[in-house]
A and B are shown apart, each in its own frame.
Chain A
Amino acid sequence: MIWNEKSECMSEDEKKQLQLERLQNVVKKAYENVPYYRKRFKELNIKPEDIKTLNDIKKLPFTTKTDLREAYPFGMFAVPEDDIIEVHTSSGTTGKPTVSGYTQKDLEIWGEVMARALAMAGASKKDFIQNAYGYGLFTGGLGVHYGTQKIGATVVPISAGNTMRQLEIMKDFGTTIITCTPSYALYLAEVAENEGITPKDLKLKAGVFGAEMWTEEMRNEIEKRLNISALNIYGLTEIIGPGVAMECEDKGGLHISDDHFYPEIIDPKTLETLPEGEKGELVLTTLTREGMPIIRFRTKDLTALRSGECSCGRTSIKMDRITGRTDDMLKIRGVIVFPSQIEKALLRIEGLEPQYQIIVTRPHHMDELEVQVETSEKLFSDEVKHVEEAKKMIEDHIHSEIGLRVNVSLVEPKSLPRSEGKAVRVIDKREL
């Protein structure tokens, strides 16, 4: 179902015109009301009037997470504090959190883009949406909440955690759509299986999963175990929260609400804009936000953009599934490794639980990568040699994916930590 046909299926010309008008407007507001942007524009000797075409966006300065931290807490607000009616912060996992301020209109936009996202998962008034994203300063919970209310679906604001309760409510209320992190979805599936709850006992049809990176293989696993359609949602607190982009049933990339968020792809080293289809760092500009307009925010997420009409009928530009972040990229003996590659390799192995942890050490000035994997009945044997073969087989799978030899450790089932929010997959013990 398309929530807002007018905005989501616009013609190319119409959209470009709208984006330009909105860009000119947001640049002017940022320049006039945010001292940080005024200063940056002056340093680069540019004025809002210099933005005559969409291509002129390249003249504008980038905004980084560090810039936002320096403005902590309210330095990026473009309206008087009286007009800000809600604040959120990023999780602060990589340093001091960044603050995001919303006006009444900003919250309406957020509800609108989230409604579009949930509609892509088939949500309508009839649905029960169990929202297992954390409510609070984290944008996940309330973002989904506003979207469900806009649609008129019934939101079950259960928040993250309390797995037994999640399953009980899912069963008793007849939840049709679940929203949470993909790692938590897998954990729910695992606990459900242990409790003898099968997909037949549930009315679940779709899941809206995001807030962490995941792979196609993980999607297959979740879809198989919960018998649902697992869709990928993307967003970030600095821009608005979840709902910046979302997958439709086509599952071939995420539609960016590009009438509200203008995407570019840059080479993270040269900072040059890359042509469509090339992979690089995603840069986003808010086109309509009042409370905190953000110009050319460097997301650190790696993806590529693809335009053209989708099989679902939408014309909004699509981005590929995020395959890595410039900052969770690991450099092991000079080779670039993303945790998602290891996940991909592991999920190709039948009978393996998709729970893993990557431990990086540097014992003798040489990087060592250990991947801890939970043993399953399928991998286990009464004979040592067969267990060692299974271990080697996993090592070979990872080797062919990342090009490096790693050491796989088999650990006991359910011994790796399960997350209720963002999964911690990498423990880097190197002192770099």
Chain B
Amino acid sequence: MKLKQISIFLENKKGRLWKALSIMKDAGINIRALSIADTSEFGILRLIVPEPENAKKVLEEGNFVVKINEVIAIGVPDKPGGLDGILEVLNKADINVEYLYAFVAKRGEQAIVVLRTEDIDAGIKALEDGGVTILSSEEVYKL
């Protein structure tokens, strides 16, 4: 199960993050999860939102560069070592994790983590084989 993520290019300039978020506010888009990768020169804002295509459209109208790509959402046991067990699965399958970040919301006893592997399909397969819960888009948007 792949989940769509939107990424937004942010110049390292005052007010840009706010500008991107206020465009989404005006469009009534509720953010399910978010992370920022920052370098000294630019930042990448990554978001999980319902209707990513619509979010992309309104952001592009506001002159942002936006890209949609796929990530994996997984349920992680909310206890010490929960994430460790999952990364172990990927490590054993020799799969590289590009980045990951967590949802604020929980799903029962599980924390939700978004992760991006170099090869998404290989990542999903390894996780499934390792018995990890992978969430569908519908499940994520309902959180």
Q: Is the CB of A413 within 8 A of B41?
A: no
Query: How far, in Å, is A368 (CB) from chain B's closest CB?
Result: 14
Assess whether A387 is interfacial by the CB under 8 Å rule: yes
Q: Is the CB of B65 within 8 A of A377?
A: yes
Complex alpha-carbon distance, A415 and B62, angstroms = 11
Complex alpha-carbon distance, A380 and B11, angstroms = 12
Q: Is the CB of A412 within 8 A of B67?
A: no
Interface residues of B in 57-88 (CB under 8 A from A): 63-67, 69
Q: Is the CB of B7 within 8 A of A377?
A: no
Q: Is the CB of B63 within 8 A of A414?
A: yes
Query: In this complex, which of B39, B46, B65, B69 has the most chain A Cβ atoms within 10 angstroms of its Cβ?
Result: B65
Query: How far, in Å, is A190 (CB) from chain B's closest CB?
Result: 11
Assess whether A367 is interfacial by the CB under 8 Å rule: no
Q: Is the CB of A375 within 8 A of B98?
A: no
Q: Is the CB of A376 within 8 A of B39?
A: no
Complex alpha-carbon distance, A34 and B40, angstroms = 61
Q: Is the CB of A410 within 8 A of B41?
A: yes
Complex alpha-carbon distance, A411 and B9, angstroms = 9
Instruction: Kindly supply a per-residue 1/0 record for chain A positions 386-413, scoring 1 wherever the CB is within 8 Å of any chain B CB and 0 otherwise.
Output: 0110000000000000000000011111
The interface residues of chain B, by DSSP majority, are classed as: strand
Tell me whether A375 and B9 are in contact in the complex, defined as CB-CB below 8 angstroms, given that A380-B65, A380-B67, A382-B69 are known contacts. yes
Cβ contact of B11, chosen from A382, A383, A388, A411, cutoff 8 A: A411
Interface residues of B in 114-132 (CB under 8 A from A): 116
The interface residues of chain A, by DSSP majority, are classed as: loop
Residues of A within 8 A of B89 (CB): none
Q: Is the CB of B63 within 8 A of A382?
A: no
Q: Is the CB of A387 within 8 A of B44?
A: yes
Q: Is the CB of B65 within 8 A of A375?
A: yes
Residues of B within 8 A of A375 (CB): 9, 65
Residues of B within 8 A of A415 (CB): 11, 63
Assess whether A384 is interfacial by the CB under 8 Å rule: yes
In the complex, residue of chain B having the shortest beta-carbon distance to the beta carbon of A382: B7
Instruction: Kindly supply a per-residue 1/0 record for chain B positions 14-30, scoring 1 wherever the CB is within 8 Å of any chain A CB and 0 otherwise.
Output: 00100000000000000
Complex alpha-carbon distance, A382 and B116, angstroms = 10
Interface residues of B in 85-139 (CB under 8 A from A): 98-99, 116
Residues of B within 8 A of A409 (CB): 41
Assess whether A17 is interfacial by the CB under 8 Å rule: no
Complex alpha-carbon distance, A320 and B116, angstroms = 52
Cβ contact of B63, chosen from A377, A381, A388, A413, cutoff 8 A: A413
Complex alpha-carbon distance, A280 and B85, angstroms = 71
Q: Is the CB of A388 within 8 A of B39?
A: yes
In the complex, residue of chain A having the shortest beta-carbon distance to the beta carbon of B56: A377
Q: Is the CB of A381 within 8 A of B65?
A: no
Q: Is the CB of B42 within 8 A of A382?
A: no
In the complex, residue of chain B having the shortest beta-carbon distance to the beta carbon of A411: B11
Query: How far, in Å, is A309 (CB) from chain B's closest CB?
Result: 50
Residues of B within 8 A of A381 (CB): 7, 67, 69
Q: Is the CB of B65 within 8 A of A382?
A: no
Query: How far, in Å, is B127 (CB) from chain A's closest CB?
Result: 19
Complex alpha-carbon distance, A4 and B128, angstroms = 78
In the complex, residue of chain A having the shortest beta-carbon distance to the beta carbon of B69: A382
Complex alpha-carbon distance, A409 and B9, angstroms = 13
Q: Is the CB of B11 within 8 A of A412?
A: yes
Q: Is the CB of B44 within 8 A of A412?
A: no
Q: Is the CB of A382 within 8 A of B64?
A: no
Q: Is the CB of A383 within 8 A of B98?
A: yes
Complex alpha-carbon distance, A383 and B99, angstroms = 8
Complex alpha-carbon distance, A410 and B16, angstroms = 14
Q: Is the CB of B41 within 8 A of A382?
A: no
Tell me whether A382 and B5 are in contact in the complex, defined as CB-CB below 8 angstroms, given that A412-B16, A413-B64 are known contacts. yes
Query: How far, in Å, is A405 (CB) from chain B's closest CB?
Result: 16
In the complex, residue of chain A having the shortest beta-carbon distance to the beta carbon of B68: A382
Residues of A within 8 A of B9 (CB): 375, 380, 387, 410, 412
Query: How far, in Å, is B10 (CB) from chain A's closest CB?
Result: 8
Q: Is the CB of A387 within 8 A of B42?
A: yes
Residues of A within 8 A of B46 (CB): 382
Residues of A within 8 A of B41 (CB): 409-410
Complex alpha-carbon distance, A111 and B37, angstroms = 59
Complex alpha-carbon distance, A377 and B64, angstroms = 9
Query: How far, in Å, is A191 (CB) from chain B's closest CB?
Result: 13
Complex alpha-carbon distance, A381 and B66, angstroms = 9
Cβ contact of B44, chosen from A376, A384, A413, A414, cutoff 8 A: A384
Known: A383-B44, A387-B44. 7 other contacts (CB 8 A): A380-B7, A380-B65, A382-B46, A382-B67, A383-B98, A410-B11, A411-B11
Q: 10 A-B contacts, Cβ less than 8 Å apart?
A: A376-B65, A377-B66, A382-B44, A382-B46, A383-B99, A384-B39, A410-B41, A412-B16, A413-B63, A413-B64
* Complex A-B, nearest 9 residue pairs according to Cβ-Cβ distance, in ascending order: A382-B7, A414-B63, A380-B65, A375-B65, A412-B11, A375-B9, A384-B37, A380-B9, A413-B63
Listed in ascending order, the chain A residues whose CB lies under 8 Å from chain B are: 375-377, 380-384, 387-388, 409-415
Listed in ascending order, the chain B residues whose CB lies under 8 Å from chain A are: 5, 7, 9-11, 16, 37, 39, 41-42, 44, 46, 63-67, 69, 98-99, 116
